[in-house]
Structure 1
């Protein structure tokens, strides 16, 4: 009798723990149901639409974000650099390349909850399309670091894991036909603080 009760309890603990852990992982992972990947960047194009899968809806509910609909824009998140390493706040990165057509875009350094990185400095850890210096061939080179850099500088600070969030507003890439030929900027690690 006691043996059966313990086995039943153990089965329930494994089932509830395993189920809860798998849901937590599915909601936390940047790759998953409905995700598209372009280079180091991942997006969930259906997240703000009625066609969103249950995991996308749960992600929006858990994080409390206002998801963009297809006609409004699309957010991409990068968690790794071009070499496959996790993005770290104590490292310096170069984000370089062309940006797809959009009326407006923003780029910011994010913490684990995908909120803007708190740097403790008066300069915001975000850039936008109207405030960047472009190369003659219309490419953009952005340095992300905790110390000032020439040109386009995205302030980061502190230690630990970091993400980059690139959001395009009023863009044709948000439609299902626009994602096939999109190229996004590369994220290259320059070095890390010792």
Structure 2
């Protein structure tokens, strides 16, 4: 009798613990269920719609964010550079290329909770479409790091992992079915501090 009770308790512990751990893992991943990955950037196009999968709805509820609807915009998150390395605050990166058509867009550096990185010495590190310098072909190059750079520069200090969040507001790609055909800027590592 005691042996059966112990086995039942063990089975329940494994089921509940394993189930909870798998859900936590699925919600923590940036490349989870319903994700679309393009050039190292990941988006969840259905996240603000009634068609959103249960994991996307749980992610929104857990993070307490207001998800953009399909007609409002789309957020892309970069966790790794073009070579596949995790983005680090002590490194300098260059974001190069063309941003898809949008009425307005923002780019900011975020911590692991996807909140903008803040420092006592500076406001949150962010840029938007109205303040960036562009090349004649409409492409852009943004330096991101702790040392000032000429041109477009996004200041990031500290150490540890970070993410880049590119949010396109009022964009046609959010409502189109060809989201996988969109070209996004590449994130390249320039150098790292020791």
Question: How far apart are the structure 2 equivalents of 1:130 and 1:188?
Answer: 23
Question: How far apart are the structure 2 equivalents of 1:37 and 1:31?
Answer: 7
Question: How far apart are the structure 2 equivalents of 1:135 and 1:124?
Answer: 26
User: Pairwise CA RMSD of aligned residues?
Assistant: 1.1
TM-score (norm 2): 0.96
Match of 2:71 in 1: 71
Match of 2:182 in 1: 182
Contact 1:93–1:187 (8 Å) recurs in 2: yes
Aligned residues: 194
Match of 1:162 in 2: 162
Structure 1 unaligned blocks of 5 or more: none
Q: Give the superposition deviation at 1:123.
A: 3.9
Question: How far apart are the structure 1 equivalents of 2:55 and 2:71?
Answer: 21
Q: Give the superposition deviation at 1:35.
A: 0.7
Question: How far apart are the structure 2 equivalents of 1:92 and 1:119?
Answer: 17
Match of 1:136 in 2: 136
Question: How far apart are the structure 1 equivalents of 2:34 and 2:54?
Answer: 10
Contact 2:37–2:180 (8 Å) recurs in 1: no
Shift >3 Å, 4+ stretches: none
Contact 2:92–2:192 (8 Å) recurs in 1: yes
Match of 1:24 in 2: 24
Q: Give the superposition deviation at 1:112.
A: 0.5
Match of 1:171 in 2: 171
Q: Secondary structure at the match of 2:130?
A: helix
Q: Give the superposition deviation at 1:178.
A: 4.2
